[in-house]
Structure 1
Amino acid sequence: MATTGIDARRRVSVMAALSILVGLLVLASLGIGPVRLSPLTVIDALFGGGSDVQQVIVREIRLPRAILGFAIGAILGLSGAALQGLLRNPLASPSLFGAPQSAAFGAVLVIALGLADVRSWALPVAAIAMAFVSVFALLAVAGRNAGLLILILAGLAISSLAGAATALVMNLSGNPFVVLEIAFWLLGSLEDRSFRHVTLALPFIVAGAIILWSQRNAFRALSLGEETAQSLGVDVGRLRLLVILGVALGVGGGVAVSGTIGFIGLVAPHLVRPLIGHDPSRLLIPSALTGAALLLAADIAVRIIPSTSDIKVGVLTSIIGVPFFLYLIMRERRALGGGVA
């Protein structure tokens, strides 16, 4: 009982600390830019105070960017935790099933065909549609009750196909300006986003988050093994379908307005797992908050790193995420080697 109480207090403390961190990062995101604003000025401008210029900077230019940074980072962290709980594999991430790559292909296709621009409702619709296509293709190829290895191989195949299709669309496009716009968009960025982008992405992100959060109790049962989970009344096939659909919906909506931002879904759960524990149901919200903090911090960093041109936030997250991914692979290899020995 005492240990349980200590664990509960630790979880509450971690959640409170993460919430405060995210709040401070949102405040910093609203204050950092070509025109630096103090935290007090930012708060004043948010509530209608300060000059008209300060209100425009905070409420119309930087607030949408901060909202998207929070929402997209949160859904990436939540999706990573959900997939790692579903597959009981610490290397699982949203890109495992090819949903982000397929969503990017859908968005790129409508841009290249001239059917939509980056502010059109057609963009998230196309991204979500292609994310769903990738999900259903995965289920059709791997089967509803496929094992982990088959799921990973099918996901890698779909991801590679989506990446190749995106490159083909860019190669066939006769407009060099469209190709350049697509290339920069694919790098991932929250720059120059407005409340229209928030309106485009947020409904899909919220819907995906609700689906994933609704399955939290099933994750706990699944951590005991599929047979045990089924004996407790969990439909593992249905759980797998709902998680993949939730990831496709949330990540697809985020990709539609930000481009591809990688590795946050992989890194976030690992950062909080030593503090929260390995119960996947209790890891969801802390992972979401950590993902939001990571993306907000990365978006702040690209604004303060000296450079002659704008650094894309997706580039920065990949630079940080790839070494972390390699470290996880080496750790898993050592663990397997120790188990064999």
Structure 2
Amino acid sequence: MSRWLIPALAIILVAAAAASLLAGTVWLTPGEVLSAFSHPAPNLAGLIVLEIRLPRTLLAILIGAVLGLSGAVLQGLLRNPLAEPGLLGVSAGASLGAVIAIYYGFSASFTLASPLFGLVGGLATAALALLLSRNGGTLAVILAGSAITSIAAAGTTLALNLAPNPYAAYEIMNWLMGSLAERSWDHVRLAAPFILVGGALLLSLGRSLDVLALGETQAESLGIAVGRVRLLALVGTALGVGAATAVAGAIGFVGLIAPHLVRPLVGYRPGKILVPATLVGAIMVVIADIATRLIRFGGPPINLGVFLSIVGAPFFLWLVVHVRRRTA
């Protein structure tokens, strides 16, 4: 099964990406999409495909991939099935940075102000987490991330409470719910380099995570520099997840769910989970983004982060019960 898993997931991802170019308020035919690529012209179909749906689809793939990958790495590194990218405080820090840009009006005068501030916030909180957990082990990383998440969340709530006008409060809430709507090539160019570099760092840890499954002491005796592995994992997560949160807002549960969906299919080896979890994360976000365009309840569309939370929360509860039964 594992032999065909990656090709099968790649085919599913390509099919989902193709569907993302077709689906929306204005449905397009495959012929119109192919024509937009082969004969780009200033017509409605070409504009929708090349300027609206293609960058949105690429962002969904990149963001889902890095969330799934970072979740798989952190679960292997911390040996905790409930670990996910938000554990390090990167998402909360990026959210706070974007909220500051909205609160002080920078986003109104500069389109990329929110993602830029979000990226800075995510990297700053990651650096702080690294500093606080530098001389500690796994527990120090978790505690540092939890503390930073609480502080950043408190800052975000305070900004929302003191929002200077209802429009600012609405913008903050809308951003915090996560979305890929109205994202452009500028957002792709901003986020892609950080996501690709972060993803490359995380993918390089496969063998080390397999050895770490034996325990840190055994890994050290086999020549694995546990401190270096932890540093690369945190830096890779900070770069990838920080950039993803900066351009799309808070998107949860992907990093938690994706590794668990593929783990039974790869023999529970942490290193073997990385690539399949990357593909599953990308598939999840692309499909969820399509669903947010199509599902309406008589009002505005559901935000991407809200939709994934609705889907992910029951899975999280099931996972807690499952882990409890296994450890009982």
Same fold (TM over 0.5): yes
Aligned match of 1:109 in 80, 100, 105? Answer: 100
Relative to structure 1, the CA distance from residue 118 to residue 63 in structure 2 (aligned partners, 3 Å threshold; closer, same or farther) is farther
- One-letter identity of the residue aligned with 2:9: L
**Helix, strand or coil for the counterpart of 1:34?**
coil
Q: CA deviation at 1:203?
A: 1.1
Relative to structure 1, the CA distance from residue 22 to residue 195 in structure 2 (aligned partners, 3 Å threshold; closer, same or farther) is same
Contact 1:41 1:50 in 2 (8 A): no
- One-letter identity of the residue aligned with 2:216: E
Matches within 5 A, 1:186-225: 186-225=176-215
- One-letter identity of the residue aligned with 1:259: G
- One-letter identity of the residue aligned with 2:282: A
Relative to the length of structure 2, the TM-score reads 0.94
Contact 1:117 1:123 in 2 (8 A): no
Q: Name the structure 1 match of 2:75.
A: 84
Contact 1:119 1:196 in 2 (8 A): no
Aligned residues: 327
Contact 2:72 2:273 in 1 (8 A): yes
Structure 2: 5+ residue runs without aligned partners? Answer: none
**Helix, strand or coil for the counterpart of 2:39?**
coil
Q: Name the structure 1 match of 2:10.
A: 19
Q: CA deviation at 1:175?
A: 3.1
CA distance, structure 2, for counterparts of residue 156 and residue 237 of structure 1: 20
1:160 corresponds to 2:129: no
CA distance, structure 1, for counterparts of residue 108 and residue 62 of structure 2: 22
Relative to structure 1, the CA distance from residue 323 to residue 56 in structure 2 (aligned partners, 3 Å threshold; closer, same or farther) is same
Structure 1: 5+ residue runs without aligned partners? Answer: 1-9
1:251 corresponds to 2:241: yes
Deviation readout 1:55-90 (Å, 9 max, x if unpaired): 111111110110011110000001101101111111
Q: Name the structure 2 match of 1:232.
A: 222
Residues 133-142 or 237-246, more deviating: 133-142
CA distance, structure 2, for counterparts of residue 200 and residue 178 of structure 1: 24
Q: Name the structure 2 match of 1:329.
A: 320
Aligned match of 1:146 in 137, 151, 166? Answer: 137
Q: Name the structure 2 match of 1:241.
A: 231
Residues 256-265 or 227-236, more deviating: 227-236
Deviation readout 1:120-167 (Å, 9 max, x if unpaired): 45444432332233223334444433233x433332222121111011
Q: Name the structure 2 match of 1:34.
A: 25
Aligned match of 1:179 in 169, 172, 181? Answer: 169
Relative to structure 1, the CA distance from residue 147 to residue 49 in structure 2 (aligned partners, 3 Å threshold; closer, same or farther) is closer
Deviation readout 1:198-240 (Å, 9 max, x if unpaired): 1111111111111111222211221121112112221111211
Identity of aligned residues (%): 46
**Helix, strand or coil for the counterpart of 2:106?**
coil
Relative to the length of structure 1, the TM-score reads 0.90
CA distance, structure 2, for counterparts of residue 49 and residue 180 of structure 1: 37
Matches within 5 A, 1:86-101: 86-101=77-92
